Amino acid sequence: MLALIQTIVLALDIYWWLLIASAIFSWLYAFNVVNPRNQAVATIGNALFRITEPALRPIRRLLPDLGGIDISPIILLLVIFFVRQFILTTVAPLVV
């Protein structure tokens, strides 16, 4: 059971970093730092979008329109942090 908890925590950590990478990539794309016509850049951007968008879309639907500011990645990072801490502080001690 402990191996399952560690695997879930690792998956949450990996998704955390993918969300951060996606946010940074979207900034680089928006400010025209990266070349969107480059095949490698387009592939990376598409992969990050496909990985993170299913989790971000419901949050975006619930949030009010803030103009050009998208805080859905921050909210999702807070949710991931809460779930990770809940697992480590509440669930894991009960299993061990």
Instruction: Convert 23-36 to b/e letters by CB count within 10 Å (16 or more is b).
Output: bebbeeeeeeebee
The residue that leads in pLDDT, 64 or 20, is 20
pLDDT at 78 over 80: yes
Structure confidence at residue 68 (pLDDT) = 82
pTM for the full predicted model:
0.90
Mean per-residue pLDDT, 35-52: 95
Asked whether 35 and 41 are in contact (CB, 8 A), the reply is: yes
List the domain boundaries for the chain.
2-95
Average pLDDT, the chain: 94
Residue 50: what pLDDT? 97
